[in-house]
Chains A and B, each alone.
Chain A
Amino acid sequence: MFVLRLLNYLTGCVTLLVHTDTPEKFINLAAGRGIFIWDVRMPAEDRVLLKIRLSAVRPFKHIARKTGCRFEIYDREGLPFLLARLSRRKALTAGGVFFLLALYFLSSFVWFIEVSGNRRVADSDIIKAAARAGLERGTPRWLVNVGAIEKSIQEQLPALSWVGLYIKGTRADIKVVEKTLAEEKQAGPSHVVAAKAGLVEDVLVLKGHPAVKEGDTVVPGQVLISGIVPPPETAAPPKEGEQGQQREQKEARPAGEPVYVAARGIVRARVWYEEYGEAELVEKGRRYTGRVVTRLCMKIGDREIILKGPAKIPFALYTEEGFPKKIPAWRNLTPDVELITLKYRELQDYILTRSKEQACRLAKEKALARAKQRVPKSAIILRERVEELVVNQPENVVRVRAYLETLEDIGVNKPFSIK
């Protein structure tokens, strides 16, 4: 039926008002001649309204003359009439055509440039680089050579390792990946200082002057290997020979002045860590049972409408967590409608009774774990010791102290300025 209606619209049809009181005559005649008639109504005794195709008007005129009845055109509909009307209103048609052409023309330019993926390089720098490469606001899309622009931006900004350009309609998305730059080498002189307190086990100097020796106890911040190399002692004059010559060439400066270097070396020391842990003999608390109920709500103003999920939460104890989704505000209109996903997690009270040994083991584990968290990965753990703290009054808690002894490199670089 829809196809028929569409066909009628395309070919055009007219509603006729026929003045007659015997409509059956011409209806039969028309049907016999193959004229398609539909929607025949009789609003009054001597009036018939009916619809025929535009092409059937001429044959119908003939039939009307034959049956001796008058008719007039009541209504016209369809594409041919629309076109005729449009041809009469030329300015309107021209305006419509102009609008479509303008829309098409303007949509073939790049109007928006978006940059994503950058962290250190500023958006404006990338946009400037893109403009130099031939992509800016208002550039026609047919002039954009994606490959060349990508290459050019990457050449202009050495901090980028990859540039991707995507033209989507009037928007150009520039996606970049930045290079991971290696850490800059320190230029000036520096000491190696202790990061932690410890007992120095061995000192390996690669560059600089050792300030501590084996068996020394150091405190954090203490210089371990100095970047200030004192001048060779005048008491030991340079020996004649190969070694002496080399040294003279290396340190060709007036005697008595120290040399400043970036000290490097490994200082391994014994370091102690101490941590506290405790465990209750009778533990009371609340924990999640793992049962979750999700509810989807729509919030309009102050009222909440439950779209999905139970009306009543089937838990006695629970926590509530909401994830609201809001329609973004547009200009000064902030929509009052929110979609909220609420998650209810069931809670349960529990009482746990431990024996003395169990509690002690748990406390030890906790204390050791806490201590090990502070130990760097490269360190070697030499010894672990756990000590129970005994209090006079009987308590619900078992307290434990853990001691760790490690061997690790405690040196860190610290630059200094030459006065």
Chain B
Amino acid sequence: MSSVPLSARESGRSVDDDVALVAAVLQRDRKATAEFVNAYTDAVYSFIRCRLSPRRDLVDDLVQEVFIAAWENLSSFRGVSPLRAWLLGIARHKVEDYYRRLLQSAQPLEPGVAEELPADEIDLEAIADRERTEQRARQVLEELPEHYSVALQWRYWEKRSTRRMAEATGRSEKGIERLLARAREQFRRRWLA
């Protein structure tokens, strides 16, 4: 998945600026805290909104959770990477926590379902890479049941292996593969409709 473009407020910030900003926030400088929020909320919001689609109702809470977690761990920021990347790392964890919880609660599919489904006719990875089809892919994902949408986003946009997904959700790898097979089939049908 390509990165979120820099907002006007972020552009031009150096890592030194970030380190100075973090130091001021840690000193509980209220104006620095406002600058921190103003500079980086757009990036975190974009990152999460793209990945939680269509559950926009959850985006605001998750973005706020990212900033609270950032405050709680801000003293560990060393300026090795830009503050934006550090925050997006937290956001990625929060999104994966959401994916994991959702797939843990989804009903497992019976063995044999995947075998009954037709072979894939669409290369999902290629679709994900093509800018011009992104909008269509997003529309189709929004039409899918949430656990299918999340499974596909986690696997193909976040590039997580089925093994990793299985470990994170406590399900078997076969179970994840069956879920993905059903999700791909639903995606294919809606894509071709």
Partners in one complex: no
Give the A-binding residues of B (Cβ under 8 A): none
